[in-house]
Amino acid sequence: MDTQKETTAPNRTALPIAVFDSGLGGISVLRELVRRMPNESFLYYGDSANAPYGTRPVETVRRLTLENIQRLYDRGIKAAVIACNTATSAAIIPLRERFADLPVIGMEPALKPAVLEHEHACILVLATPLTLREEKFAHLLEHYSSRAQIVRLPCPELVEFVEAGAVDTPEVYAYLRERLGPYRGRADAAVLGCTHFPFLRGAIRAVLGDSVALYDGGAGTARETEHQLLAHGLRSAAAGRGAVTLENSLDDAREHALSELLFALPENR
């Protein structure tokens, strides 16, 4: 009698891709990931209970990010997308050390394409205070600051607007007019260096003017994620659409409804 047990290795390609953010902003990246790889499964986790991250000390953001990714990792995932510029700035190095067997894809403000397409122009970088003061962004600036006039604009309040679901309210427009109004007619491009901000694209464009080019890292992150999956032999070959699960540390009906709403929002380029 054959007593040998069957030991088939679990099919890693079928596991979901974790997509993590401090809150709801990473859903803007999730949308790009799904658009690019509709047959993959995604497990989105937003930590809205602890948002915003961008005004917290870097050590706290690092700890929260590592704890959240650990929990997702323990559930079985094949890759982790850190759909948050702030968490990436704080934690990408320890994440890659701790989860060495997992592709971990991070984000940074899309300054490179903005400078390449607008040499010597005025480029605004809208991001959280943490992203703008950390080493990762300092390296980017070092690289590109001689090629354009780069203006750093910390906008933590915009994160709070999106977390509250207020993407098109008089309060958002009033805030943006005050913060960005002085750059109307002066700025040629704006980098949306926080994943919450693409949800405010329409309002930002209305305040800065139609001729301003807006850049965000969502599509580039989706491209890089697919590249990493292919390089690790993890890209799914499944037919049909994969499952998309939206979870949040604020586990209530309002947060779920808001997550679904942002995921389904019509495109606003």
Catalytic residue positions, numbered: 84, 194
CB of 9 to ligand DGL, least distance (A): 35
Determine how many CB atoms are found less than 10 A away from the CB of residue 170.
8
Q: Which is nearer to ligand DGL, 236 or 259 (CB)?
A: 259
Q: Which is nearer to ligand DGL, 40 or 108 (CB)?
A: 108
At a CB cut-off of 8 Å and minimum separation 6, what does 128 contact?
52, 53, 54, 55, 85, 86, 154, 155, 156, 159, 194
CA-closest candidate to residue 32, choices 71, 81, 104, 65: 81
Position of minimal CB gap to ligand DGL: 54
CB of 154 to ligand DGL, least distance (A): 10
Q: At what angle do helices 85-98 and 58-75 cross, to 10 degrees?
A: 60
Q: Which residues contribute to the site for ligand DGL (CB under 6 A)?
A: 21-23, 25, 51-54, 84-86, 128, 131, 159, 194-196
CB of 64 to ligand DGL, least distance (A): 10
Q: What is the DSSP letter of 13?
A: G
> Checking DSSP bridges between strand 213-216 and strand 244-248, what pairing results, if any?
unpaired
Q: Which is nearer to ligand DGL, 103 or 198 (CB)?
A: 198
